Amino acid sequence: MSTSPSSTTLTPLIERWRSDPGGTYQTWFLWEERLKNFRSIRRGLQTVIAEIEAGTFGCQYRGSTLETVVSSIAEQRQIFKGADHAFLWKPKLRIPDIYESPDNQKAFGRFLNQCFCCNSDQALIDAIHQLDQHQIKGLGPAAANLLYFLHPTRVPPFNTAIVRGYNLVTGGKVKLGKWPDYLVMRRGMQQLQLTYRGLFSNDFGAVAGFLFDMGNQRYPAPPLDNDAEALARFRAELANIREENAQTAKALSAARESDHTHTEIQGWLRDLGIALGYRIWIASNDRGRAFAGGRLGDGCLERLPLSLETLPSQDTIRLIDILWLDVQGGVVAAFEVEHSTSIYSGIVRMLDLALAAPEHLASTYFLVAPDNREQDVRDQFARPAFSRVRELSLRFLSYSELRQHREAIARFGSGLKGVMAIARQL
């Protein structure tokens, strides 16, 4: 790594980033929904690999299982915005050449499969070198955004802002689009993690988020030498940074409103389920959220029933937004609330529940979302990636129907009849 700022310069900058309500640490890395997407993205990549191996992937990005997975990644907050651009087919440039070239497509599939099975840093690096030897036009380090969701402690995300931030912070000269440069940056990011181990997680998302914000000029670049005047200017600029500019404030407000709405809908479903006599499970990472003067998990199960807790996919089932269970612990209904993000992760969690044991296929599954997302949901289900969903009794439940009828259903309803009446079959 090149000449870099001293720890006395960089430490306060990283601390400032960690405490910044508009920085990626607070808004993305600590975002409770972030970790819920890992399993679904991994599962989606397994489907991509299987289709390439079977020769059924096809020669188009649009409508493919890869588009489903990459779109889910791109909808992560801030740092992955635009992650799908690298995989969009650009006909004039004939890139990325994994759609028209069967050999390149198979090489890409082998690369993903090899990375999926890797259990060491060196194995991942070897897989990257092998892919690079194929010189697939247009398929560069942007593919690392897929690998991050397979191995977050081994592979950092990649985009223009991260590279720019890395060069600003370290004095490096990493260039875009080349795997060797990416590996140099990865090694430098590991050094930053080691040097500032008290401030960065071993999850590469943390250091990548810091460099992303630096690359977007959210903070002043630290001086790379010991010039006293430059250091004084840097410290003054850092001290004078406004907490949030207008654009960040607007984005934060929208993100917080999304989280608030998500919690509110979960609370409605919790109270409705209790009124109908069901035992309630709240997603393990949501139960501590504030709601109605208490916590979202108040009055709900502390542990999954033994029949669910012993399933291989129990870690995923724990993250389903709401489960209604009978007195024997059987799942009567499952609800995933999708306010603005991809429906993909929620559907995968419900599939994991349904396919874990035959008896769960008889449960009823609800995708709960704003009214204006219904067509988007139906369009998504037309994709081949969602073919297994047709095995479920899956229904769309709109916010407005739930808002309008939940009190009447709680007062006069029994079982699922009332909820089924206001939901629409998918």
Average pLDDT for residues 40-59, to the nearest whole number?
92
Average pLDDT for residues 65-94, to the nearest whole number?
88
Can you tell me the distance from the alpha carbon of 186 to that of 211, in angstroms, rounded to the nearest whole number? 12
Average pLDDT for residues 411-421, to the nearest whole number?
91
Average pLDDT for residues 157-182, to the nearest whole number?
94
Structure tokens at 248: 């960040």
pLDDT digits (tens, 9 = 90+) for 336-348: 998 766 677 788 8
Average pLDDT for residues 214-237, to the nearest whole number?
79
Residues 6+ apart with CB under 8 A from 367: 336, 338, 343, 346, 347, 377, 394, 395, 396, 397, 426
pLDDT at 33 over 80: no
Strand 322-325 to strand 294-295: parallel, antiparallel, or no bridges (unpaired)? unpaired
- Nearest CA-CA partner of 106 in 128, 134, 84: 134
Average pLDDT for residues 75-85, to the nearest whole number?
84
pLDDT at 388 over 80: no
pLDDT the model gives residue 384: 66
Confidence of residue 311 (pLDDT cuts 50, 70, 90): confident
Enumerate long-range contacts of 133-136, CB under 8 Å, 24 or more apart: 134/104, 134/107, 136/96, 136/97, 136/98, 136/101, 136/104, 136/107, 136/108
Q: Where would I find the H helices in 176-278?
A: 179-195, 204-215, 228-240, 246-275
Least-confidence region, from 62-76, 114-128, 408-422 = 62-76
Query: DSSP letters along 278-324, please?
Result: -EEEE-TTTTTSEETTEETTTTS-SS--HHHHTSTTHHHHTTSSEEE
pLDDT the model gives residue 323: 96
Cα dihedral across residues 312, 316, 319, 321: positive or negative: negative
Confidence of residue 241 (pLDDT cuts 50, 70, 90): low
In degrees and rounded to multiples of 5, residue 282 shows phi and psi of: -105, 140
pLDDT the model gives residue 191: 95
DSSP 8-state assignment for residue 359: G
CA angle, 167 as apex, 164 and 168 as ends, to 5°? 85
pLDDT at 156 over 50: yes
- Whether omega before 96 lies within 30 degrees of 0, making that bond cis, reads yes
pLDDT at 244 over 50: no
pLDDT the model gives residue 246: 46
Confidence of residue 250 (pLDDT cuts 50, 70, 90): low
Confidence of residue 139 (pLDDT cuts 50, 70, 90): very high
Can you tell me the distance from the alpha carbon of 29 to that of 256, in angstroms, rounded to the nearest whole number? 15
Average pLDDT for residues 74-98, to the nearest whole number?
88
pLDDT at 327 over 70: yes
Can you tell me the distance from the alpha carbon of 166 to that of 161, in angstroms, rounded to the nearest whole number? 8
The chain-wide mean pLDDT, for the chain, equals 87
pLDDT at 400 over 50: yes
Strand 364-369 to strand 393-398: parallel, antiparallel, or no bridges (unpaired)? parallel
Q: Measured between alpha carbons, how far apart are the two ends of the chain, in Å?
A: 54
Q: Can you tell me which residue has the tokens 């600590």?
A: 30
Q: How big is the chain, counted in residues?
A: 426
pLDDT at 389 over 60: yes
pLDDT at 234 over 80: no
pLDDT at 75 over 90: no
